[in-house]
């Protein structure tokens, strides 16, 4: 439980700066303070609402809190520890020590009740990442897609622990990239690949500048997640020049909140980048699993 008063999100420089996020960040602090003063509040259906806390398992910068036992050796937990290494190595970002707390609810109902009370009006999603001045937190529940959800949200936590900020579209592109489990990062998201192929056949044109204008999670549609994933996959796997452009950008984000945008850098480093990207997207469906 938090006992300290909330501070303005603006006081921590490495948090997201989009307005909706600021509201959320303050909201979560206030709610947690209410909890510590009054104990658990009651949601609809008269069910006690509380964060999972009975069991904890931790290693490196990860701590998972749950009301059921999840051992240190559990494959899901070990997968996240490996993911941390993979994200740092792939993106050349430091292995940070700032803790990321995962609140793993036992079921969807308890998770939903907690979110409905804490963040009224949030669209229903299987998992959320919320960064506040006090905490990098992941909220999710034990379900069929728990590994994918944990990998996605933990990636957000790792990025925000190491960088001053991350543009929303790239934040999501990287989370989508690393959520696909496998022997190596960069596995193909088959659903995204087939939808993008269909979109190309229907005349869809990629537009990174448009993605860069998106500032709120509520503005991000499925097609935006798909395109963000594809740009990320392209930059990390097509050519050394594309990878270097992304890594240089991320490196600047460690200390600079607004470096020159990627849509301005890529055409300089990679002549004909739009056509090359389209060709890359068209070939994604043929990539073998690694
Ligand atoms: Zn996300």
The rounded Å distance from CA 33 to ligand 1 centre is 26
The rounded Å distance from CA 37 to ligand 1 centre is 31
Domain with CATH 3.40.30 in the chain: 9-162
The whole-number pLDDT of residue 12 equals: 28
CB atoms within 10 A of CB 280: 20
The rounded Å distance from CA 38 to ligand 1 centre is 32
Out of 3.40.50, 1.10.3470, 3.40.30, 3.30.70, the CATH code matching 9-162 is 3.40.30
Place of tokens 């993605």: 211
Residues, CB within 5 angstroms of ligand 1 (ion): 172, 175
The rounded Å distance from CA 45 to ligand 1 centre is 29
Q: Give the pLDDT confidence of 21-47 residue by residue, as tens digits.
A: 333 433 332 223 223 222 233 344 445
The rounded Å distance from CA 153 to ligand 1 centre is 6
Instruction: Report the relative pairing of strands 127-131 and 55-59 from DSSP bridges.
Output: unpaired
The rounded Å distance from CA 127 to ligand 1 centre is 8
The rounded Å distance from CA 253 to ligand 1 centre is 18
The whole-number pLDDT of residue 15 equals: 31
The whole-number pLDDT of residue 183 equals: 78
The rounded Å distance from CA 50 to ligand 1 centre is 23
Q: Give the pLDDT confidence of 213-224 residue by residue, as tens digits.
A: 999 888 899 999
The rounded Å distance from CA 98 to ligand 1 centre is 19
The whole-number pLDDT of residue 40 equals: 33
- Return the closest-CA partner of residue 79 out of 186, 187, 191, 178: 178
The rounded Å distance from CA 286 to ligand 1 centre is 26
The whole-number pLDDT of residue 112 equals: 95
Tokens read off for 34: 């209410």
Write out residues in the chain with pLDDT < 50, as ranges.
1-46
The rounded Å distance from CA 241 to ligand 1 centre is 26
The whole-number pLDDT of residue 28 equals: 35
d(CA 5, CA 3): 7
Strand order across the 55-59 sheet: 55-59, 62-66, 100-105, 136-141, 127-131
The whole-number pLDDT of residue 153 equals: 97
> What is the three-class DSSP state of 181?
coil
The rounded Å distance from CA 271 to ligand 1 centre is 30
The rounded Å distance from CA 15 to ligand 1 centre is 15
The rounded Å distance from CA 168 to ligand 1 centre is 9
> What is the three-class DSSP state of 24?
helix
The rounded Å distance from CA 128 to ligand 1 centre is 7
Tokens read off for 44: 């609809």
The rounded Å distance from CA 39 to ligand 1 centre is 30
Cβ atoms of 205 and 258 within 8 Å: the answer is no
d(CA 96, CA 88): 9
Tokens read off for 146: 């728990």
The rounded Å distance from CA 129 to ligand 1 centre is 7
């Amino acid at each position: 439980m938090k006992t300290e008063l909330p501070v303005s999100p603006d006081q921590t420089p490495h948090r997201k700066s989009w307005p909706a996020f600021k509201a959320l960040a303050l909201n979560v602090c206030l709610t947690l303070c209410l909890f510590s003063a009054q104990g658990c509040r009651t949601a609809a259906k008269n069910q006690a609402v509380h964060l999972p806390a009975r069991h904890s398992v931790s290693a490196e910068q990860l701590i998972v809190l749950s009301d059921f036992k999840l051992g240190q050796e559990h494959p899901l937990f070990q997968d996240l520890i490996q993911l941390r290494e993979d994200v740092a190595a792939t993106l050349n970002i430091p292995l940070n020590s700032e803790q990321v707390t995962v609140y793993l609810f036992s079921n969807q109902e308890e998770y939903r009740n907690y979110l409905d009370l804490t963040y009224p009006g949030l669209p229903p999603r299987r998992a959320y990442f919320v960064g506040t001045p006090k905490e990098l937190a992941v909220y999710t529940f034990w379900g069929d897609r728990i590994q994918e959800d944990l990998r996605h949200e933990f990636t957000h936590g790792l990025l925000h622990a190491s960088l001053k900020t991350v543009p929303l579209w790239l934040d999501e592109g990287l989370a989508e990239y690393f959520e696909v489990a496998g022997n190596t990062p960069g596995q193909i998201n088959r659903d995204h690949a087939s939808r993008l192929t269909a979109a190309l056949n229907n005349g869809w044109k990629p537009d990174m500048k448009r993605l860069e204008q998106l500032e709120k999670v509520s503005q991000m549609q499925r097609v935006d997640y798909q395109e963000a994933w594809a740009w990320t996959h392209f930059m990390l796997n097509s050519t050394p020049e594309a990878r270097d452009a992304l890594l240089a950008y991320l490196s600047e984000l460690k200390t600079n909140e607004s470096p020159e945008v990627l849509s301005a850098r890529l055409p300089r480093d990679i002549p004909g980048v739009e056509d090359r990207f389209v060709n890359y997207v068209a070939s994604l469906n043929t990539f073998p699993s690694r």
